[in-house]
Amino acid sequence: MENTFSVFNKPKVELHIHLDACIRPETILYFASGDREAVKRIAYEFLETKANQGVVYVEVRYNPHLFANCNVHPIQWNQKKGDLTPEEVVELVNEGLKEGERDFNIKAKSILCCLRHMPEWSPEVVELCKKYHNDTVVAIDLAGDEGLKSETFPGHLKAYEEAVRCGIHRTVHAGEAGPPSVVREAVDMLKAERIGHGYHTVQDPALYDRLLKMDMHFEMCPWSSYITGACDPDFTKHPLIQLKNDGANYSISNDGSLPMGGVALDTDYKVAKSQMGFSEEDFMRANINAARSCFLPKDEKQKLLELLYEAYGRRDF
């Protein structure tokens, strides 16, 4: 498939991508040896890959407890339990991101994820968001199985209330595999400023209409939705098409959905172009949407928007 649109070679903004899904295979082996430098290296290499894809600003997310191997579930990547604390993980990722920013001409911030099945981690996640606020960390997220919400929800709600109180930005994975009610809960109770995925929002026209009027941002990850089966595998029926046609506030990200080590945002762009009728202007608008809905401080956000306007040669979006 040809990259005939020049936007493929223009600056892009990516808001929804998981660091733990983007580790190069050779680095996983390195990580398994228990080397703390590996965490830093994962963040650093991630930015190298993203810069090579033309991304000028990325918000990368991860759960620090998983990297620290606090998991009660099968041990990840063969580390020993408790090699690192979640706080050390955040510091190492921060170092890797800062070094990557310097070396690869890219700007990066991070989002710390709560996990729906581990509400006991959420208080520490929000405390880490507070401690490293704007020291690369800009927001809190909630990821995982949307079907688990009822018994685990109070712990996450408390963390999000603390985030609101402390001026920490908020995004929530909602309406990916789950129903519109999870999206409504994210907006009304967790005070989400952006929705991760949100595909199934369109099944509730009243909710969808309300979010359109609120200018709610949807972090759309088309290739991921195909891999996970969150949407009809026929891309010509994808909700992203409706969002585009309705002039919704959405962006396009990869989510880290390719096999380990794969983070090709171009895959999402190609699918949107070839099967969803995206024009070059639609791609530009998606990136302007991403920039205006990102969690950068106001002055830095304005600089990012200017960079895009300059590169696209227009500002009438």
Q: Quick one: which segment of 119-127, 162-170, 253-261, 284-292 binds Ni ion (CB under 5 A)?
A: 253-261
The span from the CA of 89 to the CA of 160, in Å, is 21
**How many residues line the site for Ni ion (CB under 5 A)?**
1
C-beta of 17: minimal distance to Ni ion in Å?
8
Asked if residue 250 lies in contact with residue 239, where contact means CB atoms within 8 angstroms, the answer is no
CB-nearer residue toward Ni ion: 143 or 202: 143
Return the residue nearest Ni ion (CB atom): 255
Q: Is 14 in the site for Ni ion (CB under 5 A)?
A: no
Cβ proximity to Ni ion, 61 vs 104, nearer residue: 61
Nearest residue to 77 (alpha-carbon basis) of 121, 115, 33, 125 = 33
Q: In the chain, which residue ranges form alpha helices assigned H by DSSP?
A: 25-32, 37-52, 64-67, 86-104, 122-131, 149-165, 180-188, 205-214, 222-228, 239-245, 265-276, 280-293, 298-312
Piece of 19-27, 101-109, 247-255, 305-313 that binds Ni ion (CB under 5 A): 247-255
- Give me the least distance between CB of 289 and Ni ion, in Å please: 18
Q: Of 45 and 255, which has the nearer Cβ to Ni ion? A: 255
Q: Give DSSP secondary structure letters for 170-194.
A: EEEEESSSS-HHHHHHHHHTS--SE
Compute the least distance from the CB of residue 257 to Ni ion, in Å: 8
Q: Which one of 146, 176, 185, 219 is the catalytic residue?
A: 176
| Amino acid letter, residue 317 | F
Pick between residue 185 and residue 255 the one whose CB is nearest to Ni ion: 255
Query: How buried is 229 (Cβ within 10 angstroms: 0-12 exposed, 13-18 middle, 19+ buried)?
Result: exposed
User: Could you tell me the smallest distance in angstroms from the CB atom of residue 219 to Ni ion?
Assistant: 8
- Report in angstroms how near the CB of residue 16 gets to Ni ion at its nearest: 6
Strands 194-197 and 55-62: unpaired
Which tokens sit at 75? Answer: 């041990």
Sign of the torsion formed by the C-alpha atoms of 28, 13, 159 and 192: negative
Toward Ni ion, which CB reaches closer, 59 or 255? Answer: 255
CB of 198 to Ni ion, least distance (A): 11
Compute the distance between CA of residue 256 and CA of residue 12 in angstroms, rounded to an integer.
16
Cβ-based nearer residue to Ni ion, 34 or 262 = 262
Stretch of residues binding Ni ion (CB under 5 A), selected from 35-43, 179-187, 251-259, 272-280? 251-259
C-alpha dihedral, 261 to 284 to 244 to 8, nearest 10°: -40
Note if 151 is an active site residue: no
Beta strand 194-197 pairing with 12-18: unpaired
In the shown chain, the binding pattern of residues 255 to 294 toward Ni ion, with x for contact by CB under 5 A and - for none, equals: x---------------------------------------
| From 114-122, 149-157, 161-169, 249-257, span contacting Ni ion (CB under 5 A) | 249-257
197, 188 in Cβ contact below 8 A? no
Q: Which residues bind Ni ion (CB under 5 A)?
A: 255
What positions carry a catalytic annotation?
A: 176
